[in-house]
Structure 1
Amino acid sequence: MKPFTVLVVALAVCSLVAAKETAAKEEAVKVEEGSSRQGRLFFLTKLLAGPAALECVATKVGYRCHFKSKEDLCPMLLEQMGCPENQYCGSGPDGNICKPKLQVGDTCTVKTQCLSDTCRNRKCKADACPAVDMSIDCMPTQYCSPGEDGNMCVAKKEKGAHCSSRLQCKSNVCDDRGVCIEDKCPHPYMEERCLPNQFCSPAPYGNVCVDKRNNNDQCHQNAECKSGLCRNGVCKANECPTPFSSEGCNQLTQICMITTNGKECLTKLPNQQPCLLSAQCLSGNCVRGTCTDGDGTEMPNGASCSMPTECASGNCVLQRCAATRNGISGVCMDNDDCQSNNCVLNVCAVPAVATTTDATTMTTTTASAAASLLDIGVACMDSADCASNNCVLEVCALALAAFDRGATYSDMSLCAKAARLDGQSSEPV
């Protein structure tokens, strides 16, 4: 053939091949577009079927919505339901399937996946005890400690070991430095496990037994002091052992009382002093809060008294129970000693109470008459001039009844007034 003819044939063949390739590509594009449209249509159909057609499934990239498979062997992912005891429900290529549970150390999402039933920090763990730094499920000499494969019981630490909790230490004490320390005695300010002359003192690195403190040393509790008494932060001496008793004191005149200086022997109280107990009184009787010679019962005439209510007669005259009170000019110490209820300069005077003679007339009082009588020590001419009804050497003196009864007085100035012989003065001395 001629060269020109060969060239024409070759060009025709190339054009035919190119046309076939172009037709094949166009056909492939049509098929792909049709497949994509069918896929989108299928997915849209499933969505229109509602949420019941979808389920949430755990995948390597998180939870995703997948269409439910008709071949699910268990109903709920990551649950035990529908699977044997040593399996859990996981996802498979054709639906949910039961998978073997994971071993200790395997990666997990929930505890149901683990044979140990514990998933912590996304790892299956085998816990021998439930709570760290506690002794639950451990021996008394152990505590619960976290480990690579789970919590485990380990031996408590010796003195000097580092700690983060007292339960980690054998001594049950972890100080503020984070070190196990040992208490020589269990309870501060007590004597337990210490010598008789010692007490348990708190210290920075454990309680220790120290010697009790002397008198006047600083203290916080009674147990710190040799005397057994800490008052106002200072150890005080005890002169006697038992308050409100005479033990260690003079049995007749003293009683043990608590003071700011400790337990001291104090003198018992005389009559008429306030008291709490009869042991405080020299008389041995504390009646209605007052030391007295009586025993709290009504006393007969002649018995010592301090108030009328103590006497059976209802009359306490000159500190003695009497049948009646003194009359006018009788010796008295207060108004209760007098029938007139008016004691003037230790002498019973006429009543000072006003008496009405007539409802329509002016009120007169016998007090005005008494007021005109002269007091003891004032110059007089006759006994009738004196309130005591006794004028001696022209001076009002004590009533004769007082001297007849042998009365004595603590106020010596009255005696001095009665002894004066100054008849020239008309004013009280």
Structure 2
Amino acid sequence: MLFSALFCCLLGWLCGALPNNLAVECDHHRACARGFCVAGKCVACAHDSHCGASLVCAAHECVQCALDDHCAGAAVCLQNRCAECRSDGDCAHGHRCSLYQCRPSEVDGGHCNSGSDCASGYCTDGRCADCADHSHCGPLLYCQRGTCRELRRARDTCYSNQQCSSNRCLHGVCTECSASHPCEPHQFCDVGTCREPADAGAICLVSLQCKSKICRKRRCAECLHHDDCGEGQFCDDGKCQEKRKPLSSCYTRTQCLSNICKDNRFCVDCLTAWDCPESHYCNQNSCKARGLFGYSCHEDDHCQSHKCGDKNTCVLCTQHRDCERGWYCTAEGTCRELKDLRESCDSNDSCRSGLCGRSGACANCLVNSDCRRFQRCDNGVCGQRRL
């Protein structure tokens, strides 16, 4: 039965134009297009002051009454409308409660020429009647052939709008909604009846029946694609799941926080250094920070300098050309400025002259023959020969 009704709705029979926004959400930063925000939902009212004169707020709707005290005089509250009575005890002596109105105990239906001949005051077709038109009946009633009758509910048969509590009779049936009378923005029209969209897991035929606007395999779902889920989540069989940490099982990369599923078996941080943040390297599928000078290493990529020395520690240089011009690479892997003549040295490479003398100072000669004519070698430095 439910499938048939919903199939008819899909064909457009008795269905109204369905609203685009099923779940109107609101908060301190996003106000309602109309009404007031209560618990994240837009409603007609939150308290009586939101309603017009002579109306009260009940179940977040502005109505005529919610309690008898809301009605004037001795009137009573029936289905949020004020009426004269709900039983004979509410009427004065000599009167009875008929269709929520107090009437003289005399039975209508006798012959009459005018309304003055009848206790009800209405004469229709020569007979005393309860009413002559709908305005003569109380709330939730309509006039049919001189008799006040209860208004009909959604899906009851009808032949005029006045017979329906919704004031909408379409194709012989009372409806809450139609193409020209859509439901509230947060509702959808189901064969003439306004309904609330369902949560994930409920049965559905079309997406508008779901709060998520997603109907999958005849069930309301949270998602169809990963983009339907929030940040740090993925879509798994219609449900949004949190992305998984390294070493968690996986069968696709979208399940992993790193977006890397190794061998379609488990999540990892990285496969190569390109998968890691800047200044990090990939070590056994985990991203590690590159080391500073002196940190242990096994490859150049493990160091911020991209140079791993002979002693498996990070260095600034491994050869002289790693340093700026006029500098040399020390045995410890640091760059130092080349030394001038007579400055202490430990290798030829540390001297600007390219020669570290026997005395442990930078020199430009070892013997006289290393100097020019008329010069001699004096403590590793060429000077003028003395006369």
TM-score bracket, shorter-length normalisation: under 0.3
**Quick one: higher RCO (CA 8 Å, sep 6+), 1 or 2?**
2
**TM-score, normalization by structure 1:** 0.26
Q: By percentage of residues, which structure has more helix? A: 1
**TM-score, normalization by structure 2:** 0.28
